[in-house]
Amino acid sequence: MLYCDLLRDVLKMILTTLIAVTIVVGLLLGALVAVLSLRKRFANRELRLIGESARVETTLTPEGTVIVDGELWPARSIDSLVISSQRRVRVVGVDDLSLLVEVCDG
């Protein structure tokens, strides 16, 4: 009788541990899928910004921020020039999460 009780308790503990591990692994995999999905979405958004006009928010020295379609983005001048605030620039590329910009003609 004592042996059966001990065996039942051990099996309950093993089952509980397996359920807990399964839940944790499932949550981690779900989080990984969500992060990868967001990164892909951001990458697609960055590519659509190429060619867009932007306004310099903080002076690019050569790094600062610009506003494109109402969104604030970190940016860098491709010519390493200082570009003053409020100037119009054009997005010509993306480096990681920073936009590469050049001064608009005219």
How many domains does the chain fold into?
Answer: 2
Together in a domain, 68 and 43: no
C-alpha atoms less than 13 angstroms from C-alpha of 70 in its C-beta half-sphere: 0
Q: Is the pTM of this model over 0.85?
A: no
Q: What is the largest CA-CA distance in the chain?
A: 92
Omega cis (within 30) before 74: no
Together in a domain, 44 and 55: no
- CA dist 9 → 19, 23, 26, 75 (Å): 15, 21, 26, 61
- pLDDT score recorded for residue 97: 79
Together in a domain, 6 and 41: yes
Range of the domain at 21: 1-49
- pLDDT score recorded for residue 52: 92
Together in a domain, 27 and 38: yes
Together in a domain, 60 and 36: no
Residues 68, 56 contacting (CB under 8 angstroms): no
What six digits make up the tokens of 58? 């903080």
Together in a domain, 45 and 56: no
pLDDT digits (tens, 9 = 90+) for 23-79: 999 999 999 888 776 665 555 555 688 899 999 999 999 999 999 988 899 999 998
